[in-house]
Copies of this chain bind each other. A is one copy, B any other.
Amino acid sequence: MAYKATTLNTISNQIDTILPLPSLEKELLLSHLQRMEVAKGKLIISAGKIGHHVYFIEEGLARAFCENQRGQTTIWFGQEGDVMLSYLSFFKDKPGYESIELLENAVLYRISSKDLRELYRQHIHIANWGRKFAEYELLKAEQRFMDLQFKTATERYHDLLVNSPAILKRVQLGYIASYLGITQVSLSRIRSALK
Contacts and interface: CB of A to CB of B under 8 A. Distances in A.
Interface of A: 66, 68, 73, 75, 87-88, 91-92, 97, 120-121, 123-124, 127-128, 130-131, 134-139, 141-142, 144-146, 148-150, 181
A63 to B, nearest CB: 14
Contacts of A141: 138, 141-142, 145
B138 A131 contact: no
A187 to B, nearest CB: 15
Nearest to A141: B141
A97 B128 CA distance: 25
A151 to B, nearest CB: 10
Contact of A144 (B91, B145, B150): B145
A66 B97 contact: no
Contacts of A181: 149
**Can you tell how many copies of this chain the complex includes?**
2
A148 B151 CA distance: 13
Given A148-B149, A150-B68, A150-B73, A87 B139 contact: yes
Given A91-B136, A130-B131, A137-B138, 17 more contacts: A66-B146, A66-B150, A75-B149, A87-B138, A87-B142, A91-B138, A91-B139, A97-B142, A97-B146, A124-B124, A131-B134, A134-B138, A138-B141, A144-B145, A145-B148, A148-B148, A148-B149
Contacts of A146: 66, 75, 97
- What 3 pairs across the A-B complex have the smallest Cβ distances? A134-B134, A131-B131, A124-B124
Contacts of A73: 149-150
A128 B136 CA distance: 16
A29 to B, nearest CB: 15
